[in-house]
Amino acid sequence: MSHLTRRGFVGAGLGAAALHGASPGFAQTPAPVALAIIDVAGNLQLTQGAIERFARANPNLISGVNFTRAPSPELPAKIVAQQRAGRMDIDLVLTGPGAMSDGIQQGLWVDVWKSHAAALPKPEDVYHEQALMMQRNFGQNEGVAVVYSPSGPLFEYAPDRMKTVPKTAEEFLAYVKQNPKRFTYARPVNSGPGWTFLQGLPYILGDADPADPMKGWDKSWAYLKELGTGIDYYPSGTGATMKELGEGTRDVILSTCGWDINPRALGIVPKEAQVFVLANTHWIPDTQFMCVPKGVAAAKMPALLALMAHMLTPEPQAATFDKGYFYPGPAVKGVTLAMAPKESQDVIKEFGRPMYDELIATLPTRPPLTPERLVAAFRRWDQEVGAGRGAPN
């Protein structure tokens, strides 16, 4: 991958300088700081290289970066404990919409877009339309959207085993009932494909209120239960379904753009696997955010803000094409595959699908459920659909 451009370096420097100039306390450039970054969304796969390059190019701001990873559900309690102790050991969090929104509700994050607006670009100036929608719905004033994917729901299948591709939800239900144990999907609370399918199904079926899983999903809950009559068990994670498709245990599974491209590039799923969407499909997108916990030392804010602003520039955004892990990846306008590292271009050229460009342009996009309603949907699925149907012993 190429090094930081002169333009990116100067822009970051100016952003930090502007921040310093806003307060008499920054009359002199402060000493460089070490940053502790925690990832609860798998985001470092897409951003770690760019973060490290920025740190190396800006030794006046950053003396070092320490990366850690943790499960998303553990994060809020960890941050609350540190805030109560008055000792914040986490400087930057990389997270998905769920923990992002939970943190907003609990008042965990610095409102960077409001209190440090001069150090960041205007959202409407940098984000493409869909990422801007996710920024406003979930990031609000606190989270800085850094990567975006339309996500799903998609269906991935083996064309040598599934000869006739269903076009509607009714046709797919008939296929599953006629071909028991040849389809499964992972528990939605632990699966991106399961997550998008659960939230996308009400649009496919024309349910009363796709935004209300408790009162507006009568068709969806009935469909999921009927679909379950042809499913032997629900794996705990998406990786298991990909492995079963690759091994021939399943003929069709749920997928997303990233889960389709990346496992085929890694050889887990055969390259020949194909995907389809059902009639009335709406994208349920996924976005990952950068956020700063309240209690972070003031001396670290210039470096953090400069880093976040830099991550919204073309070079680090182009790197998020990666190996299709979060396809496409970029959250900002005007970043194309031609700008990505050659390795990413080669992977997408070989394992990507031209149909995705058409689907992204033509299928409508809807925001995911609010955190409270998403939790309610997960709980209801666990109780009414997946209960007692986990991985076999």
The torsion angle over the Cα atoms of residues 191, 197, 198 and 202, rounded to 10 degrees, is 170
- SS3 category, 66: strand
Contact yes or no for 131/287 (Cβ under 8 A): yes
Max CA distance (Å), the chain:
73
Q: If we measure between CA atoms, which residue out of 280, 162, 276 comes closest to residue 220?
A: 280
From CA 274, how far away is CA 337, in angstroms rounded?
A: 22
Q: If we measure between CA atoms, which residue out of 374, 41, 390 comes closest to residue 195?
A: 374
Q: What is the pLDDT of residue 252?
A: 98
Q: What's the chain's length in residues? A: 393
Query: What are the distances in angstroms from CA 160 to CA 230, 263, 301?
Result: 21, 18, 55
Residue-by-residue DSSP string for 96-148:
-HHHHHHHHHHT-B--HHHHTGGGS--HHHHB-HHHHHHIIIIITTT-EEEEE
Contact yes or no for 22/286 (Cβ under 8 A): no
Residue 298 has phi, psi (to 5 degrees) of -60, -30
Q: If we measure between CA atoms, which residue out of 119, 109, 116 comes closest to residue 142?
A: 109
From CA 288, how far away is CA 192, in angstroms rounded?
A: 13
Contact yes or no for 255/275 (Cβ under 8 A): yes
Q: What is the pLDDT of residue 390?
A: 67
Residue 116 has phi, psi (to 5 degrees) of -130, 40
Q: If we measure between CA atoms, which residue out of 194, 208, 107 comes closest to residue 154?
A: 194
Apex CA 329: angle with CA 326 and CA 333, to 5°?
A: 160
Strands 183-184 and 252-255: parallel
Q: What is the pLDDT of residue 192?
A: 87
Q: If we measure between CA atoms, which residue out of 238, 204, 240, 197 comes closest to residue 219?
A: 204
From CA 326, how far away is CA 321, in angstroms rounded?
A: 7
- SS3 category, 366: coil
Contact yes or no for 22/292 (Cβ under 8 A): no
Token pair belonging to 295: 């209690």
Entry pTM: 0.84
The residue to which tokens 């990346």 are assigned: 262
The torsion angle over the Cα atoms of residues 21, 92, 315 and 54, rounded to 10 degrees, is 70
From CA 347, how far away is CA 267, in angstroms rounded?
A: 12
From CA 295, how far away is CA 275, in angstroms rounded?
A: 46
Q: If we measure between CA atoms, which residue out of 144, 62, 153, 117 comes closest to residue 317?
A: 144
Strands (DSSP E) contained in 292-374 are 329-330
The residue to which tokens 């190429």 are assigned: 2
Residues with Cβ < 8 Å from 203, sequence gap 6 or more?
210, 280, 281, 282, 366
The residue to which tokens 């929104």 are assigned: 101
From CA 359, how far away is CA 285, in angstroms rounded?
A: 13
Q: Which residues pair with 33 in a beta bridge?
A: 62
User: What is the residue-level pLDDT of the chain in tens, covering all 393 positions?
Assistant: 333 332 333 344 434 433 433 444 444 567 999 999 999 988 999 999 999 999 999 999 999 999 999 888 788 899 999 999 999 999 999 998 878 888 888 999 999 999 999 999 999 999 999 999 999 988 999 999 999 999 999 999 999 999 999 999 999 999 999 999 999 999 998 888 999 999 999 999 999 999 999 999 999 999 999 999 999 999 988 999 999 999 999 999 999 999 999 999 999 999 999 999 999 999 999 999 999 999 999 999 999 999 999 999 999 999 999 999 999 999 999 999 999 999 999 999 999 999 999 999 999 999 999 878 888 999 999 999 998 776 554
